[in-house]
Every structure is written in C-alpha cells, then in structure tokens.
A and B are shown apart, each in its own frame.
Chain A
C-alpha cells in the first residue's frame, strides 16, 4: 500500500494552466479507471473535483480536467484563479482497496 507520488508543490499565475501528476503502479492507477482528485483548503474537508479519471461532478468548473496514461494520472487546471490555491490529492482504487497521493500544494502567484 505505497502512496501515489505527487509533486509537493506547483505554482502558476492567474490565467495560466498547471498540471499536477500522480504516479502509481500497474496495481492501482494503471489497473483501474477509479482515479479521483480532491481539493482541500486549510481547516476544511476535502472536496471531489474529478472522479473516474476524467469525470467532473456537477458544480465543479470545467477549468478542471483529468486524464490518465499508463501508471500516471494528471489533473489540469486551466485559467488559474486565486481561489484555486489549495492542496490537491489524487486517489486510486487499488483493490486493497484505496491509496492516496501525498498531496500537492498549488500556489497562485
């Protein structure tokens, strides 16, 4: 049950695009299309932004998108806004059954 690998931090200016990667193995990210992404503000509960690799829940801006290639999933945020500054966690079903990434702090410059 090793954690998925995410960059510790990423940054971008308002209006730009950023991509956060999430690398797992052939037992989790590579095997299942059950990758989800969660946004967390300090002191708040996580909120799902993307599920099943690329599906966006109702109410999540279409600036958020997800994809997967092999053992690596990605979250892309386009048209960055100040309110996007938060921690982001990827999560994959692994049959065991779940594993999270270590989290990425997104800073909007």
Chain B
C-alpha cells in the first residue's frame, strides 16, 4: 500500500525557516518524480515544486523560487522541502504527491494527508 506521510509543519514567524519531510512507503521511491502542492486555508490547490526521480532536475513556482528548495534522499525514501524567508502568504497545508511515473508530465496518483505551515508573529 502506497503511503506518504508529511511532517515538519508548525508555527513560524515571518522570515523564518522550516523543513518539511515526506516519508514514502509501499513503492519504489527512487523510480518516481515527486511534487509538493499547497492549499491555503479555504483556497484552492497551488503547485509548489517538483523533483525528478533522480533528484537532479528541480522546478519551482514563481512564488517560491529562490526561497524554497526541494530535495530527496532515495536511500531514506524521503522527500524534503526546505523553506526559508517565509511569508504570511506561505501559510497553507502542504501536500506531498507521488507522480504516476518518472515522467514529469505524469499525474499525481497518491497524496499524503498534508502538514500545516502557519507563518505568523
């Protein structure tokens, strides 16, 4: 059974940093692209960042580029999102999503339950 378990969310002041983790199980983690998607309270889904299966190619939404870094440790079956210079508008539930394949165009076939990040003083 595929499982994605996010952790690392919490309350952080503006300008602060946080690292999110997504522990994956039930599939060959190193064979699939992975993505972070966020959802602000009461709002829609927003794509944040994608990492290819090897970890060499990274992609970011304009809203987070230069502040967020996506990475993965295939030996630990874990995806990360390092967030810095956090702003109030980064407040959201952050989902980890597995792609259906190694191809970046493949859809998101499994999602975690999310971890909440709140940026506030």
Contacts and interface: CB of A to CB of B under 8 A. Distances in A.
Do these two chains interact?
yes
B112 interface: yes
A96 B59 contact: yes
A57 B109 contact: yes
A34 B44 contact: no
B11 interface: no
A3 to B, nearest CB: 8
A62 B56 CA distance: 38
A29 to B, nearest CB: 13
A105 B68 CA distance: 30
A103 B62 contact: no
Range, interface on chain A: 20 to 34
B45 A100 contact: yes
B47 A98 contact: yes
A36 B107 CA distance: 7
Contact of A1 (B45, B62, B106, B108): B62
Given A89-B45, A98-B50, A45 B105 contact: no
Interface residues of B, number: 22
B113 interface: yes
B18 interface: no
B39 to A, nearest CB: 9
Interface of A: 1, 3, 32, 34, 36, 38, 40, 45-48, 51-52, 57, 87, 89, 91, 93, 96-103
11 contacts: A3-B44, A40-B45, A45-B112, A45-B114, A46-B45, A46-B95, A46-B108, A48-B107, A48-B109, A51-B109, A93-B104
Given A97-B104, A97-B105, A103-B45, 14 more contacts: A3-B44, A34-B105, A38-B45, A45-B113, A46-B95, A93-B105, A96-B59, A97-B50, A97-B59, A98-B50, A99-B47, A100-B37, A101-B44, A102-B44
